[in-house]
Structure 1
Amino acid sequence: MSQTTIPKTKITIGLLWHSISSDNLGVGALTESQIAICQAAAVRAGVDVNYLIFGTTGGKHYVPQGISVRIGSRISIKQMMRGNSPFLKELDQCDLILDIGEGDSFADIYGIKRFIFLIVSKIAVLAKHKPLILSPQTIGPFDHWLPRKLAIAVMQRCNQVFARDGLSSSYLTKNGVRGNTTEVIDVAFRLPFTRPEHHTNNKVHIGVNVSGLLFSGGYTENNQFGLTLDYPALIRELLREWTNDPQNEVWLIPHVIPDDLPVEDDRIAIDALLTEFPSAQRAPDFNSPSEAKSFISGMDFMTGARMHACIAAFSTGVPVVPLAYSRKFNGLFSSLNYPWIADGKSMDTATAFKTIMEGYDKRELLKNQVAEGNQTANTLLQKYEDYIVLCMIGKYS
């Protein structure tokens, strides 16, 4: 889909399925990073940007300073059907829509209800004849034929679809979405941060991002994600190994911190572990994704099961062994030629433990590979920024 419009000096960008208040700091990291990329593009394009954010809300508030941001109306299918949807009216104010799908929600693996919200919002944008760009995200999987058919039809009508990993890019090609697709990388590699002063106690600072969701067994509390390992047992074994060595300083790091969803709250799992491993330390409850990334950047090694906690480590040069519970991990890190992943859907507990400990022992090697991966990430995200510049001056493709 190609079109050119008269350039403007002031534009409004709708950020669909973003959030600047989500208790999931991964979703917030995507939003902060998206705005940082758009601001860099705006300088190059010579435009001022207002942002209108549509998505889920939470208990946080991390608006970047000096940025014009408004929170849009909630997306209600009932209101759309009744013809009184403020969301639809607010779409009219936007010059273009960047839809990031909360990173990995454009799929049917999280249930049909979430998929319906994602797909209806996209159809609404297309019905308004607004340029729709799917920002870097995991695409699919769509295991059922109807969601897959709807998703393909919508993506074929987008101005551009950006996959954040090779697996998603291949999935698009396999399902006939071609010509308007580009493979880049997760925007969170651009999340701003401030590196803390180097620690002076000569200990090895180890960060362990504990997933409350995996600790609970998923939303169903019955191994929802089909792990082949015992996640709580793995975390306990790692903590037992690391806290027994006086040369280590172990930090338990939360990255999803909702006050009203205990099954997903990393802090609950961490507090339980601290009763068993009192020599470990608890990271603070971060007020923003950038604050979390800044803290993580001070680690000497990290492992975790929240992907954006792992990206925070990787993008700040920290050796990291992610624990994958979905293909989004495998796709993203393989795109960076980074093989150090403990795969929770194929490894048993002992193998995952061995893999993480090997990464810890070889952390200097991992650090070099992380540096190479970050060069690749920077190149890929520059492609995305270049495209946003073109959109801002009215040249869509």
Structure 2
Amino acid sequence: MSRALRVCLIFHSTRSDNLGVGALTVSEIALLRKLGRQIGREIAITVLDWKDARAPYVSGDDLTLIEVDGAFLKSPKGLFATVKASDLVIDVGGGDSFADIYGAKRLIRMFWMKFAAHLAGTPLVVAPQTIGPFSKRWSKWLARISLNRSALVAARDERSGEALRALGYRGEVVAASDLALRLPYQPPEMAQGGAPRVGINVSGLLMAGGYQGGNDFGMSLDYPALIARLIAWFQGQGAEVHLVPHVIVPSGPMVIEDDLRACEALAKTHGVICAPAFDSPGAAKSYIAGLDFFTGARMHACIAAFSSGVPVVPMAYSRKFAGLFGTLGYTRTVDCTNTNEDGVFAAVTEGYLMRDTLAGEMKESLAKGLERLGAYDAALLAQLESIRG
């Protein structure tokens, strides 16, 4: 009987406060389990996990979770030994962290973990994610070397495919989409009649003006004022407004990213519903699936709506939104970095009034996204089948 295939996941997380990263991880693990059944091989999955305090939202006898810290990364018995003992390493890059816009420290750690796999001789799979942007000579150079040494490179949007070519990647690019399109969830029992249920994902980070509080993301509008204006408008339409957090940080240095506190404060001020502190990405998606319309600034909150059939107008603060949704032919994203408050307000409210039309557009686009994910499935399956022993 063949031994279990040993697959190590890096830059995934089973307990991230950012449920978007969690959605990618849960979806990746579900895919590996499916492919293992397909080829008749057990897959032992090791996740090099982040040290968030919450309980893991995925479990199983096939899973081993290892907390990553500085000592683990440096120890010969830590990172290097783990990837050396693996048959395959899969890196999802936290969805969009493979870029130099988030600072050198994060990117250097990412390069170190990638090159540990290269040095160990273990094939590295770059799972569907946003690639770039890279603006610095050193980061472009290291990215090019790592990508060209990788066994498989998948991009979740056309812009990332273009970025790969610009970097000098010489291999075949697997044109995929976001893994979270297939995030499992529990479809809610839909109540008949009553007021339309509108969900607004409020980004605590954007409410604070970014990490430094100085409009770090280059928004071309007053985000708190826009959110208040949208809440008031939906109330005027007779809608039942739900404020939905998707990054939930109970405490610690990254509490500025917390959506829940922002939602709770706005709910109290405006007399609307605040969704609960979800304990898993699937719980968040199940809640969002029970709404009639959705808008928000967290991309994976919007993906949860999009992939569960809820008409959505994403409010983008980076190119990853238009890259992902635009690649699928869904053009309802509005860019908050180059559109003023009136323009964003008009796009969101028009989307609500045309939500039946949006639902039809989404159905076609989702089918395209799932078809593109099939290309990643096939490529990853080929990698697994190539592993002997």
TM-score by length of 2: 0.96
Aligned equivalents of 1:211, 1:73: Cα separation in 2: 27
In structure 1, the residue matched to 2:385 is: 393
Report how far residue 132 of structure 1 moved. 0.1
Aligned equivalents of 1:63, 1:236: Cα separation in 2: 33
In structure 2, the residue matched to 1:276 is: 269
The AA in structure 2 aligned to 1:265 is: D
2:19 pairs, out of 17, 25, 41, with: 25
Q: Does the CA-based 8 Å contact 1:91-1:128 persist in structure 2?
A: yes
Q: Does the CA-based 8 Å contact 1:36-1:190 persist in structure 2?
A: no
In structure 2, the residue matched to 1:177 is: 169
Alignment length, in residue pairs?
A: 386
Q: Does the CA-based 8 Å contact 1:61-1:288 persist in structure 2?
A: no
Aligned equivalents of 1:265, 1:186: Cα separation in 2: 23
Report how far residue 146 of structure 1 moved. 1.1
Matched, 1:11 2:5: yes
1:266 pairs, out of 244, 259, 283, with: 259
Matched, 1:34 2:28: yes
Report how far residue 73 of structure 1 moved. 4.3
Deviation sequence 1:313-358 (CA, Å, 0-9, x none): 0001111000000011010000110010110111011100001111
Q: Unaligned regions of 5+ residues in structure 2, if any?
A: none
Matched, 1:188 2:177: no
Identity of aligned residues (%): 39
Where 1:374 maps in the other structure, the secondary structure is: helix
Q: Does the CA-based 8 Å contact 2:207-2:262 persist in structure 1?
A: yes
Q: Does the CA-based 8 Å contact 1:20-1:57 persist in structure 2?
A: no
In structure 1, the residue matched to 2:246 is: 255
Q: Following superposition of structure 1 onto structure 2, how do residues 222-261 of structure 1 map, counting pairs within 5 Å?
A: 222-246=214-238, 248-260=239-251, 261=254
Q: Does the CA-based 8 Å contact 1:9-1:48 persist in structure 2?
A: yes
By relative contact order (CA 8 Å, sep 6+), the higher-ranking structure is 1
Q: Does the CA-based 8 Å contact 2:244-2:275 persist in structure 1?
A: yes
Aligned equivalents of 1:67, 1:30: Cα separation in 2: 20
Q: Does the CA-based 8 Å contact 2:50-2:67 persist in structure 1?
A: no
What's the Cα RMSD here? 1.6
Aligned equivalents of 1:37, 1:263: Cα separation in 2: 33
Distance 1:62 1:75, change over 3 A: closer
In structure 2, the residue matched to 1:3 is: none
Runs of 4+ in 1 over 4 A off after TM superposition: 78-81
Deviation sequence 1:256-303 (CA, Å, 0-9, x none): 00112331110111122123201x101111110001011111111000
Matched, 1:149 2:149: no
Where 2:149 maps in the other structure, the secondary structure is: coil
Aligned equivalents of 2:289, 2:259: Cα separation in 1: 19
Report how far residue 134 of structure 1 moved. 0.4
Q: Following superposition of structure 1 onto structure 2, how do residues 85-234 of structure 1 map, counting pairs within 5 Å?
A: 85-234=77-226
Q: Does the CA-based 8 Å contact 2:152-2:379 persist in structure 1?
A: no
Q: Does the CA-based 8 Å contact 2:202-2:297 persist in structure 1?
A: yes
Deviation sequence 1:176-204 (CA, Å, 0-9, x none): 21323211000001110011100234211
The AA in structure 1 aligned to 2:295 is: T
1:306 pairs, out of 277, 298, 319, with: 298
Q: Following superposition of structure 1 onto structure 2, how do residues 64-75 of structure 1 map, counting pairs within 5 Å?
A: 64-75=58-69
The AA in structure 2 aligned to 1:56 is: W
Deviation sequence 1:30-89 (CA, Å, 0-9, x none): 10000111111111111111111113231222443545111124153x6655x5451222
In structure 2, the residue matched to 1:347 is: 339
Distance 1:272 1:22, change over 3 A: same
Aligned equivalents of 1:18, 1:65: Cα separation in 2: 14
Aligned equivalents of 1:28, 1:61: Cα separation in 2: 12
Report how far residue 20 of structure 1 moved. 0.6
Where 1:269 maps in the other structure, the secondary structure is: helix
The AA in structure 2 aligned to 1:171 is: A
Aligned equivalents of 2:236, 2:183: Cα separation in 1: 34
Q: Does the CA-based 8 Å contact 1:215-1:231 persist in structure 2?
A: yes
Deviation sequence 1:217-263 (CA, Å, 0-9, x none): 111111111111111111111001012233x1110000000112331
TM-score by length of 1: 0.94
Aligned equivalents of 1:65, 1:153: Cα separation in 2: 35
Q: Unaligned regions of 5+ residues in structure 1, if any?
A: 1-6
Deviation sequence 1:360-394 (CA, Å, 0-9, x none): 11100100011001111111111111122112212
Aligned equivalents of 1:55, 1:195: Cα separation in 2: 29
Aligned equivalents of 1:63, 1:375: Cα separation in 2: 27
Report how far residue 395 of structure 1 moved. 6.0
Aligned equivalents of 1:61, 1:69: Cα separation in 2: 14
Aligned equivalents of 1:339, 1:9: Cα separation in 2: 47
Matched, 1:377 2:373: no
Aligned equivalents of 1:120, 1:87: Cα separation in 2: 10
